[in-house]
Structure 1
Amino acid sequence: MKKSFIIVLCGLLVYCGEKNEGKVNVPLEIHFTLDTLLIDPVDEFLYLNAGLQVAALDEKKQYLYNFNPNDYTLEKIDLNKGILADKLPFEKEGPNGVGGMVFGLNLISSNSIAFMGYMNVGLFDLEGSKRSEFTFNDKAFAGDKMAESESFQFLSNQMVDLHTMIGLIRDNSEKTYALGILNTETQSLTKVPLPFEALENFRFRLSSPSRIQMSSPTVTISKHQESYIISNEISNSILIYDNDSLLQIDYQSKLTADKKTGKYNHDFENEEAFKQTSLDMRREINFMAPLWDEEKQLFYRFSHKIIKIGKDVENYQDTESAVYLTVFDPDFNVIAASLVEALNTPPGYHFVKDGKIWMYINRQDEMGFVQLTVDIE
């Protein structure tokens, strides 16, 4: 195991919370501490090209499973020891085949993992045997019906247990959105309309002689206890679906705008204009999904915006961003918020473990994690 430390202490003014000391209101402060863990690959080459976008954590967050499409294995990373613990083999084709395209992973139980494809999900045990497979588009579901113009947006689909899949449904004609909750055993669908019409203002389409490309705002759906939390990148609104009711939480972001407000072209024939508009949109504030800290009973949410673009405007990496962190109580009341001065790029794959925010980094082709400790005083 290799571990290097970078300690940064930042006492930053927080905009909303206060503590009472006698009759004096003292503004709260957030203190950040960072250190870095590098994973020992044990003479293997870990797959880092996808930035852990096809990875999953176990329930205790001891093991991270990273899919390697080069050899169709799951790289089992022991996060407690900082080492590659095992490589679990899977098949690409055949009765136990994962398939040619894998867009996501969901660890369902200690020995059940779901591979998410374009319009299907395969459920496997960790020995590589396929237990079941389900196709979720072009089916006549029981319960709520899907219109011909509706479809699941495959990048947001995930399985939350052995029989439940959730995802975002978009009506391509009406330009409306819904949360889809699908019981794959009974093939029964529940649709929950979502107030996401504003997302359409930030959907871009490139139709050039060389290629066709779509750019859509990110929507994240996650299960928290018995509820589903839905968020998107263009607004700080948080939706909570629980017991057949949908609650919308809006809060004022005194450090940033509450949402994107720019007006952009939607259709492009020129690739340079398409890329430039995408960068311009990211100069506005972008919101990431909330994360739950079980140890501290808090939610964290990053937001960010580009503040500097280098000479190579074609390269999205050649940018510098301001990164902010908002801290909430369990009911999503804002406790504190601050600029995170130690970060100048938005977190990629990140999660909370042991009371710290873990953020994936690629350090000279080695897998690593920056661990951010957040203390509020």
Structure 2
Amino acid sequence: MRLLLAVALFLVIFSCASKDEKKQTVSDQIRVSLDTVLVDSGDEFLYLQDHLYYSGLFNDKSYLINFNRQDFTTEKIDLDELRLLEKVQFEKEGPNGVTNAVPYVSHFSNWSDENILIWDYFMYKIFDQKGHLVKDLALDKIAPEFLGTDEYYAGAFFQVENNSDRLIVFIFHWESGSRLILDFDLKEQTFEKIELPELEKLRGFNVNLLFEGSPAGSYGPSASAIIVNEQIIISNTAFNEMLIFDLEKDSLYTKYWNTHLLADKKSYVPPKEVERTSGQLKEIIRKTEEDVNYRSFFWDEKNERVFRFSDRMHFGEELNGYGDFISTGADIFLSVFDEDLNLIAEAQIPELTKLPLKYFTKDGNIWMYENINDELAFVIMKVEDI
């Protein structure tokens, strides 16, 4: 095994607006229409407790597979006919077992050839839709210092088109808060580590949590990644920007925005540390969520454009059972980018009063998960021509 340090080989380019430029002006005219559809599950009850968090889209988004973490079954849902097709029992343990270090499934995603990727610490396995093990990627053996330990968290996996041996993994280091990309060559069983220094500034919004003076975790902004046209696009909740890793050019560059609606970054900077038992944390969380949060980018392949939701939440004084303030609604914003990742429109969407828990594009529209009386539904938002 060899580790190839590739940081010096990458061209870092900072494009679009500098942080000192005036606010950018883009179209604020976005017209949408909403329609709600229900999924026919027959006599079956669908698993909605995780809000489709453990699900993947398959076959050009014609169907969705949802994983039930309670009984280890999958639910195959036809999105064209809006009905449950089948349930399949997976094995918890054994040769086809989907668990490893912990007795539950932590991550579930679609894979090539209509297969499924299930991963956790020390386990990175591909299964077919009937629950049979297809392949153990054994990434914990190729990169034990990153994926053979619980010090790093693998957040996303990306296959590279026309190169089945190349695999990109976006990871997070728990202690330092650093994010990295691991670029694997599965044939050669090697990888390159790619540093992401542009994301180090997220630490400025982190709160170190203490319990009786000792470290007890942290609270702060998150980052996520998608793949679009051979580019890994990384977003974060604190800054109005995208960090792009171009897979063809092996280059890193950042695009920034500073708009009238969403500014260039969050305005609220929390204290550096707080005692968990002091009661301050719930106030910090409220102020953080009342400030703008820039959510993940997502790709509309039909119209070749990128969407992003952002939100500012509202709260009353009522607390939930965990002692946190209960949200009373939110201002939801939609940003639209063209295929070259240029911002072309941005507006508040008054028809939406809360951030969808799960959403994706299909047939040029935005599908948003909804639970209606314990039945699976989708609110389909059509974005008119911009």
Do they superpose with TM above 0.5?
yes
- SS of 1:359 mapped into structure 2: strand
CA distance in 2, matches of 1:147, 1:31: 44
| Corresponding position: 1:276 with 2:292 | no
1:114–1:122: 8 Å Cα contact kept in structure 2? yes
With 28-37 and 348-357 compared, the bigger mean Cα shift is at 28-37
Conservation of the 8 A alpha-carbon contact between 1:160 and 1:166: no
SS of residue paired to 2:31: strand
TM-aligned CA distance change 1:15 to 1:36, over 3 Å: farther
Q: Specify the alignment match of 1:16 in structure 2.
A: 26
1:215: how far off? 3.2
Give the superposition deviation at 1:355: 1.0
Opposite residue 297 of structure 1, the aligned amino acid is: E
Indicate yes or no: 2:114 matched with 1:117.
no
1:343-365 alpha-carbon deviations (Å, 9 max, x no partner): 11112111000110001111121
- Where does residue 328 of structure 1 map in the other structure? 337
Q: Find the counterpart in structure 1 of residue 156 from structure 2.
A: 157
Structure 2 residue aligned with 1:23: none
Describe the SS at the equivalent of 2:285. helix
Q: Which residue of structure 1 lines up, in the alignment, with residue 194 of structure 2?
A: 192
Corresponding residue number in structure 1 for 2:84: 84
Unaligned stretches of 5+ residues in structure 1: 1-13, 18-27
* Cα gap change, 1:115 to 1:171, in 2 (>3 Å): closer
Question: Which whole-Å CA distance do the structure 2 matches of 1:176 and 1:118 have between them?
Answer: 18
* 2:330 alignment partner AA: S
Distance in 1 of aligned mates of 2:187 and 2:175: 27
Matched residue, 1:35: 35
What's 1:167 paired with? 170
Given that residues 102 and 118 in structure 1 are in contact (C-alpha distance below 8 angstroms), is that contact kept between their aligned partners in structure 2? Answer: no
> C-alpha distance in 1, partners of 2:267/2:184?
34
Partner of 1:180: 182
| Secondary structure, aligned partner of 2:93 | coil
Whichever structure has more helix as a proportion of its residues is 2
SS in 1 for 2:318: coil
- Is the aligned partner of 1:290 residue 2:303? no
Counterpart CA distance in 1 for 2:208 and 2:139 is: 25
- 1:262 paired with 2:268, answer yes
Alignment partners' CA distance in 2, 1:49 and 1:146: 31
Residue 376 of structure 1 aligns to a residue whose secondary structure is coil
TM-score, length basis structure 2: 0.82
Unaligned runs of 5+ in 2: 1-23
Tell me the SS of whatever aligns to 2:130.
coil
Shift of 1:214: 4.2
Equivalent residue number for residue 241 of structure 2: 237
**Structure with the larger RCO, 1 or 2 (CA within 8 Å, 6+ apart):** 2
* Contact 1:165-1:183 within 8 A present in 2 as well: no
One-letter amino acid matched to 2:342: N
How far 1:235 sits from its partner (Å)? Answer: 1.0
SS in 1 for 2:267: coil
1:54 alignment counterpart:
54
Shift of the 273–110 alpha-carbon distance from structure 1 to 2, 3 Å rule, reads: same
The aligned residue for residue 105 of structure 1 is 108
Aligned-pair identity (%): 30
Give, as a single letter, the amino acid of the residue that structure 1 aligns with 2:237.
Answer: E
Going from structure 1 to structure 2, the CA distance change for 1:214 and 1:81 (only over 3 Å counts) comes to farther
Deviation at 1:293, TM superposition (A): 1.2
Contact 2:170 2:181 in 1 (8 A): yes
Q: Secondary structure at the match of 2:80?
A: coil
CA distance in 1, matches of 2:40, 2:324: 30
Q: CA deviation at 1:85?
A: 0.8
In structure 2, what is the equivalent of residue 303 of structure 1? 310
